[in-house]
Amino acid sequence: MKVLIFIAAMLVLAACSSPSIKANVTAFYTPEVNDTVGKTVVVRAHPEAKESSLEFISYRPKIAQKLRLVGFEVDENVRDPDYIAFVSYGVNGREQKSSTSSSPYFGSLGVGVGVGRGPVFGGIGRSYNTQTWEEYSRFISIDIVEADTARSNNPVRIYEGKVQSVGKCPTLAGVFDQVLDALFEDFPGANGKTTFLTIPWDGSC
């Protein structure tokens, strides 16, 4: 019985220690976002200067695949798409964190009384350990607008979604797939609300 309890405890600890990404997703959208089947969309970087960056070129097909899964027809070669998905991403801040833990240390409390009069041991104090680290705020933002209004002063948006994740990984590249998964976890999501998610991660950065 003790062996079974020990194994169960180890499994619980293993599950608790599995790495993951915590993210929050905020979305706003119009009814049109639920009528995207067969509608064409192209994926573009914002700001436009990132369009030719190798980083964005590596992200674009992943974003395109997510859009396909929610009903859009992604075609980068179409001349007159129905929509344009403008994508912003990056690391927009960092914050130093610290944590202090304590543990007792033991030593002799003196000599006991009675037979043998051996030393008595017990807790005689506590030791403290402080760790400091930096956490980074990573984000992905996608605005889907009607293509024929994209260049106007007032583009017509059908969807605005942003996902933020704070963690020790200092670059978005190390957690991009997981952060993007969070954004599309329940697309289009709860309109006008923020949803908090935990996404499995392999721990590499």
Reduced to 3 states, what is the DSSP secondary structure of residue 195? strand
Query: Model-level pTM?
Result: 0.75
Identify whether the C-beta of residue 175 lies closer than 8 Å to the C-beta of residue 165: yes
C-alpha 150/C-alpha 144 separation (Å) is 9
Beta bridge partners of 130: 100
C-alpha 88/C-alpha 60 separation (Å) is 11
Would you state the pLDDT for residue 15?
44
pLDDT digits (tens, 9 = 90+) for 60-114: 999 999 999 999 999 999 999 999 999 999 998 766 655 666 667 666 556 555 5
pLDDT digits (tens, 9 = 90+) for 128-178: 776 774 899 999 999 999 999 999 999 999 999 999 999 999 999 999 999
Going along the chain from its start, the domains and CATH numbers come out as: 20-97+132-200 (3.30.160.670)
Q: Which residue has the tokens 């002799």?
A: 108
Would you state the pLDDT for residue 199?
94
Q: Is the pLDDT of residue 204 over 90?
A: no
Helix axes 54-69, 176-183, angle to 10 degrees: 30
Q: Which of 25-39, 83-97, 110-124 has the lowest mean pLDDT?
A: 110-124
How far is C-alpha 40 from the chain's CA centre? Answer: 28
* Edge-to-edge strands, sheet with 20-29: 73-74, 40-45, 83-111, 119-146, 157-167, 20-29, 193-200
Q: Which two tokens stand for residue 119?
A: 């030393």
More confident: 124 or 121:
124
Would you state the pLDDT for residue 127?
74
Reduced to 3 states, what is the DSSP secondary structure of residue 65? helix
DSSP 16: H
pLDDT category, 14, cuts 50, 70, 90?
very low
